Amino acid sequence: MGVRLQVFGVVLLGLLVSGGAGLLMHRVEMDNAGQALDRRVAAAQESVASTAQRYVDAVQLTAGSLEALPKIDAASFTTATAPLGQLWLPGATSIDLVVSVPDSSVAAAQADWRALGAAGLTLRGTAGVGRHYFTVLQRTLGEGAGPGAGADAGDVGQDLTGSAEASAALERAGRIGLPAISDPYVLPRDTGLPPQDRQQSVVLLQRVVDRVTGELRGFVQMTVRMQDFFVDTMLQPSRELLDVTLSALDGSGWQPMARMERHDAGAGDLRRTVLVQVADQQWQLAAGTDGTALIGADGHLDEGMVFGGLALTLVTALLVYTLATSRRRAEDRVTQATADLRHQATLLSAVMNTIGDGVVVFDPDGAAVWVNPTARGLLGHDIDRHPPAEWPELLEAYEADGVTPYQFRALVRQQVESQIELVVRGRRLDVRLRTLVGQDGAGGAVAVLRDVTELHEADEKVRASEELLQLLLDGARDYAIYMLDRQGVIESWSGNAERLTGYRADEAIGHSYGMFFTAEEGAAGVPRRILDQAAEHGRVEIDGPRVRRNGSRFWAHGLLTAVRHPDGTVRGFVKVSQDITERKTAERAVEQLNAELEVRVAERTADLREANAELESFSYSVSHDLRAPLRAVDGFAKMLALDHGDALDEQGRRYLARIRAGAQHMGDLIDGLLAFSRLQRQEMASLRVHLDQLVADVWEELGVERGTRDITLSVGDLPDAQGDPRLIRHVVANLVGNAVKYTRDVSPARIEIGHRVGPLSGEVMYYVKDNGAGFDMRYADKLFKVFQRLHRAEDYEGTGIGLALTHRIVLRHGGQIWADAVPGEGATFYFTLPAYENTGHTGHMLLEVGG
C-alpha cells in the first residue's frame, strides 16, 4: 500500500513540476531570444556599414590617385588601381574610369582612348542623348580578376546614361564631389543571366577633377553585386540564424537588394528593422527569426522540460517502487558485507599489528593514513600524524649510501612496484612500495619496511672479506695461490697462477699439479710424495725447477698446506707458489762473487804477507843498520872516557857522558819503533789473562825504579781478561811504570789499580790511577800518538812509544783506552778488554799465563 501511495505521489508531483517548469522556461526563452536578436541585428548593422565604407574608401582612394596623375591612360590606370586587386571586396565586379563625351565627339574620343591604351575600345552611345558617359578603362575585381584593363566583361564602352539609376548617381556624384551610390538595378552585363542568378547591383561613383583647374576629368566607378556583398557581410553576424534583408529606398518604397535566409525556416515571430547609412544613401536592414532559434542547439528547452519531467517522473516512480521492494534485501546484504569487512579488517589489523615488517598505507596525496606498530618503531615517529612535507626533517632518512638525504617524492598514479633502501636512524631499511590504483584511478600506496641492517652488515662483512681475499690474491703478485684436491688435481686457479705458469684456468682446473714438474721429477713420483708429506706433516715447503706451459723453466718456492675435513681427513691442499728464479740467480751470483772474493782475499793476503815480509826485513835491517853507527859513537866515546878520561877536564868528560846518553836514547827509540811495527804483524793469542798476577809481576820488576820511594799501591779485585798475555803484560807494565815514573816528585805517592764493569757486555774496564804530575787534558789527543810526549825529556825521560804501543794493543783486542787527568793532581788511565769467558776449552787452560 505504502509503495503505491509513494509512486502515485511521485507521479503527481512530477507532472506538476514538469508542466510549470515548461511554461516558465518558455517565457524565459522568449525574453532571451529578443535580447539575442537585438545583439545580432546590431552586429549585422555594424558589419554592413563598416564593410560598405571600405568600398567607398576604395573608390575615393582610387579617384585621389587618378587625380594625382598628370595624364590618365591605360597604363597609369592599371598602376593606380593595382592596390584594389589585393583587397577583399566581395561583390565588387570592377573598377572603371567613366568619362563624359559630347555626342558630337564620340568618334574622336574613341580614337583618343584607343591611343591612350584602351585597345579595341568601342563607344556605344545611347541614342538621343546630348552628352554620354562612357566607361573607357576597367579593372575587373573579385573572381576572374586580371590585371588587364578595358579588355573585359562587355560593359567597357557602355554609356551610363542608358541606366536611370546610374545617371542619377552620376549627377549626384558630379554635384557633391563626394562618393555617390546608385539605386539598385541589374547591371546591363547581368541582364543575360538566368533570373535566379540575376542580382541587384549598385554603382559607387566618385568624380575625378583636375586639381588645378577644377575641370572634371571623369568618374571612378565601382560596380557591386549586392547579393554577393550581403552574403559575405552577413555570414558572421547572422550565423544563419536570422532572416535578413537589405533594402534601398527608391521612389516606390524600400526595394530589397539582397536577402539571406536562416537555415531552418520557422515561425519568424521576432523581427527588427534598422537603418544603415552608406555614403549618401540610407539602406534598411530587416531581420527576423523564431524566439527559439537563438538559444541552445534545438531551441526546444521548454518542451524538453515537460517531456523530460514526465519521463523522469515515471523512472523515479519505478525506482521508488524497486527500491522499496528490494531495500530489505539490500539491507541484509549490506549487513553481511559490513560484517565480512569488519572481520577482514580485524584480521588485517591483527596481522599488521603482529608482523615483523613495517607497513605504511598512503592515500593518493601521499599522506600516511595508517602505520603499523613495527613501522612506527622503525621510523621512530607516527608519520600518519604529520603531513609528508614534514617527513624529511622528522625522519632524517638517507639513501643507501647513508649520506645523501632521501628526497620524498610524490606517489605516482600508476600501478608501480619499487624497492629502495633507506637509512633511517642509523638502521638500514628495505622499503618496498606498491602503489594502489582504484577503479576511479585514485589509489595511494602501501609501503612494506624491513630492517636489513644486520643482513646488510653481514653482507658487507662477507663482501669486505672477499674483497680482502681478492686483494691479497691479486696483491701478492709474486705468489700464485690455488687449491688442490687430495689427489693433487687443481680445483681453483688465479690470475697470478696464470701469470706464473702460463696456464689459463680452463687449462689448469681439473688437471694434476704434477704438470708443473719436470719430466724427470714427474717420473720419479715427486709430486705424489710431496702431497703425502704435506698430508702427513700439515705443510711442506719445496724448492725446485718447474715448467711453464710454453716449456720454459723457472725456479719455484712452493708451500703446500693441507686442508682438512672436520673429522681430520685431508680434503685437499692450498698451494702457494713463488717464482724465485731471480732470487736463485742472485744467490748463485752471490756465491760466485763470494768465491771470487775469497780468491781475491787470498791473493790480497798473499800480497799483504809479502809486503809484511818486506816491511819486516826492512825494519830489521833499519834497526840493525841504524844501530851500527850508534854503536860506534857510543863504543868509541866509552873508549875515550876509559882510556883518555884523565886527559880531559871535567867539562870534556861531561860532554862525553852526554854523547853516550844520546846514543843510548837513540837505541831505546829504535827498540820501541821495532816493537811497535812488529805488533802490527804479530799474531795474537786469545788466552785467559790473570790481570792481578800480571800486576804483581810488573810491580816486582819495577823494584829498581821504585827504589826507596814511599809509594802506596792499592790493587782491587781484577777479573781475568781474554787476550794475548804477552801484549797485555806490556799494557800493564807501561801504565804502572808511567804511574811510578810520574809520581816521582810526589810523596807519598798513591797508585790505585781497579776495575769496573765495562760499558759493553762481555768486557771489563780496568783503570790505573795515580796522584802524580798529571797532564793538561787539552793535549789528551796527543797522548797515544807515536813520539808525542806531554812532558819535557829533562823532567821525565821517555821515548813517546810506550803509550802508543799500549793504545795499539788495547785496540787490537777490541777494547778502548782513554785518560782523565789534572796537571799536578794526577792521571787516571782507563782501558777495556774482553772479559774472560770460561768456555771450558782445556786447551786454553793449559796455555794460561801468569799463574
Partner 1 sequence: MKPLSNRVLLVEDNPDDLELARLAFERGRFARNVDVARDGAEALDYLFGPAAADPPQVVLLDIKLPLVDGIDVLRRVKADQRTRHIPVVMLTSSAQDRDLHACYELGANSYIVKPVDMEQFMAAVNSIGLYWLGLNLTDAHS
- Which of positions 554-583 make contact with partner 1 (CB under 8 A)? none
Least Å distance between CB 850 and partner 1?
A: 21
Helix ranges restricted to H, 355-452 = 373-379, 391-395
Based on CB atoms, which residue is closest to partner 1, 639 or 657?
639
Based on CB atoms, which residue is closest to partner 1, 21 or 633?
633
3-class DSSP state of 223: strand
451 DSSP β-pair partners:
429
Based on CB atoms, which residue is closest to partner 1, 715 or 786?
786
Least Å distance between CB 677 and partner 1?
A: 11
* List of residues 6+ apart from 30 with CB closer than 8 A: 291
**What number of residues does the chain have?**
851
Is-contact 513 575, C-beta < 8 A?
Answer: yes
How many other CB atoms are found less than 10 A from the CB of residue 349?
Answer: 12
Based on CB atoms, which residue is closest to partner 1, 38 or 671?
671
- Which of positions 715-754 make contact with partner 1 (CB under 8 A)? none
Q: Which of 671, 697, 820, 848 binds partner 1 (CB under 8 A)?
A: 671
Range in contact with partner 1 (rule: CB under 8 A) among 78-86, 227-235, 322-330, 668-676: 668-676
- Per-residue burial over 227-255, b if 16 or more Cβ lie within 10 Å, else e, is bbbbbebbeebbeebbbbbbbbeeeeeee
Based on CB atoms, which residue is closest to partner 1, 85 or 662?
662
Task: Indicate the residue type of 215.
Answer: E
CA dist., res. 753 & res. 496, Å (int): 70
Range in contact with partner 1 (rule: CB under 8 A) among 35-43, 387-395, 670-678, 770-778: 670-678
Based on CB atoms, which residue is closest to partner 1, 36 or 630?
630
CA dist., res. 178 & res. 206, Å (int): 6
Q: Which of 678, 709, 785, 791 binds partner 1 (CB under 8 A)?
A: 678
Least Å distance between CB 623 and partner 1?
A: 6
Q: How far is CA 322 from the centre of its chain?
A: 70
Based on CB atoms, which residue is closest to partner 1, 231 or 640?
640
The terminus-to-terminus CA distance of the chain in angstroms comes to: 155
DSSP 161: G
Based on CB atoms, which residue is closest to partner 1, 636 or 779?
636
Q: Which of 106, 231, 324, 675 binds partner 1 (CB under 8 A)?
A: 675
Range in contact with partner 1 (rule: CB under 8 A) among 417-425, 537-545, 617-625, 710-718: 617-625
- Give the pairing of strands 243-250 and 131-140: unpaired
- Give the pairing of strands 479-485 and 539-547: unpaired
Least Å distance between CB 626 and partner 1?
A: 8
- Which of positions 618-657 make contact with partner 1 (CB under 8 A)? 620-621, 623-624, 627-629, 631-632, 634-636, 639, 642
The size of the interface with partner 1 (CB under 8 A), counted in residues, is 19
Helix (H) or strand (E) holding 494: none
CB-based burial of residue 722 (10 Å sphere; 0-12 exposed, 13-18 middle, 19+ buried)? buried
Least Å distance between CB 725 and partner 1?
A: 18
Based on CB atoms, which residue is closest to partner 1, 420 or 669?
669
CA dist., res. 802 & res. 808, Å (int): 10
What CA–CA distances, in Å, run from 190 to 57, 199, 339?
A: 25, 8, 90
Helix ranges restricted to H, 157-243 = 164-176, 226-238
CA dist., res. 666 & res. 64, Å (int): 157
Sheet holding 281-289, edge to edge: 253-260, 243-250, 281-289, 270-278
Least Å distance between CB 714 and partner 1?
A: 33
Least Å distance between CB 625 and partner 1?
A: 8
Helix ranges restricted to H, 68-179 = 74-86, 106-115, 164-176
Least Å distance between CB 630 and partner 1?
A: 9
Least Å distance between CB 782 and partner 1?
A: 26
Range in contact with partner 1 (rule: CB under 8 A) among 159-167, 375-383, 427-435, 666-674: 666-674
Least Å distance between CB 659 and partner 1?
A: 15
- Which of positions 390-409 make contact with partner 1 (CB under 8 A)? none
Least Å distance between CB 633 and partner 1?
A: 9
Range in contact with partner 1 (rule: CB under 8 A) among 44-52, 86-94, 159-167, 669-677: 669-677
Least Å distance between CB 605 and partner 1?
A: 21
Q: Which residues bind partner 1 (CB under 8 A)?
A: 620-621, 623-624, 627-629, 631-632, 634-636, 639, 642, 670-671, 674-675, 678
